Amino acid sequence: MDPQNNKAWPPAGFHRRGSNPHAEEVLLPSTSHCTANTQTDYRDSEVQTEPYNPSFVVCPGSPPEILTLATLTLGHGLLIGLREVERVEWVRRQRAQEATLPPYDDLTQVARRERMMKEMEREKWAFREKEIQKLHDFRLDQLIKHLWQREERIQEVTMKRLDKRFSQRQRDRDREIEKMRRDYLASIRRLTEYQRNAGGKVDTRDTVKVYAKHTLRTCDPCLQEGQSSDLASRINEVKTKYLSTYEDLLQLEASLPSSVTEPLIEAPRPKDFKGFIKRADRHEMKLMQAHQELKGAEMFEEKPLRFLIDLEKPRPPTPVTDAPPEGDEEKQLALIFMQKLLRGRSIMNMMFEGKEKRWELIQELRTTHALQREEQEKQKVQRQVTLDLQKQRELHNHMVSMRESYLQGLAGRVVVDTLDFV
């Protein structure tokens, strides 16, 4: 507020701090602005504060015991528990002991006072050590608890990972067994076909014959070997114990309601004739009527065929091949048999060479997987011979070492005697 533009400045009763209100009025210099310090001083002159009053007053000579709990806060003494109650009891005992101390001005009781104060100090340190030990035990128990919880979590995670790995291995094993089974069946089929065509005859696959027999795998591949070969259809297979035996089937049939085993199917009733005939029915009736009329009039008479003449078609010449010379087929079969012998002999030579290369591995496998009783007896005899040789070698080495130690002892004794004499 500008004092030049306000004629009521300063207001009535307003005076500066320390001035007399009955003295001659002294105005401030004419300025357009006022500082905050000046306004604060003016406001503080009007403020009246209340004096400090303590929250409680203690009579001299009677300190209340409850004031010892004034310093307790939440988390540091509050809420009250067993530990805090024990500490309060200990403080009470300390005060009771301090009350029993001799006075300061009694010079005859100085030693006794010092001894009692030392005893109180020892009790105080024992109490502090006990509290520290309790805190240490509590933290140690918490640490052990957290460690056990961590170990349990780690064990749980490990078991889950192992279960997942085991299930994956199980699926891989089932997949490998299924693949080996399919390969085995395919090998059996190839071997059967090879034995069937051992005479040199090669039978080609007859597609018509394969699809003509409905008992073959081509028409019904579902349960030839006990399970379905179609992987997609195995999802819809019904697996229940009631389909294994005839008694289970009878039990299943007895548990079903009668509406399942005895369906009620009503035959459709013929439609009632109401005097209206459809166009298709009328057309069919006319055709039947015409047919009856034609059949009754015997309009269809047998007439000889005019243009049916047997024509002899020229037969194409039959192809003729030159007859093979005598003995050619036997020579061809003999050559085929010779080829089989040579191939078999080459395979035997390859197997023999592989056996010679891996003879040590075969011997090792025979030692670990001997199935025949004679081979087991031989292995036992060889093992016993080896153990006897080892014992003899150990005994010989022991005798040699004892002899050498005895000779070295004699030589050392002679050297000692010689040195003593010198």
Q: Are residues 76 and 136 in the same domain?
A: no
| 324 part of a folded domain | no
pLDDT reading at 31 higher than 70: no
| 92 part of a folded domain | yes
The residue range of the domain holding 363 is 334-373
Q: Residues with Cβ < 8 Å from 185, sequence gap 6 or more?
A: 225
pLDDT at residue 17, rounded to an integer: 43
State the total domains in the chain.
4
For 170-220, write each residue's pLDDT tens digit: 999 999 999 999 999 999 988 887 777 766 565 666 777 767 766 665 555
Q: Residues with Cβ < 8 Å from 27, sequence gap 6 or more?
A: 3, 10
Q: Are residues 39 and 96 in the same domain?
A: no
For 119-177, write each residue's pLDDT tens digit: 889 988 998 898 899 889 999 999 999 999 999 999 999 999 999 999 999 999 999 99
Q: Are residues 109 and 172 in the same domain?
A: yes
Tokens found for residue 49:
């504060």
- Domain end marker among 168, 195, 222: 195
| 151 part of a folded domain | yes
pLDDT category at 35 given cuts 50, 70, 90 is: low
Q: Are residues 134 and 188 in the same domain?
A: yes
| 180 part of a folded domain | yes
Backbone angles phi, psi at 74, to 5 degrees: -70, 125
| 359 part of a folded domain | yes
Return the residue matching tokens 């790995």: 165
pLDDT reading at 309 higher than 90: no
| 312 part of a folded domain | no
Q: Are residues 68 and 86 in the same domain?
A: yes
For 279-308, write each residue's pLDDT tens digit: 888 888 899 888 888 877 655 555 665 666
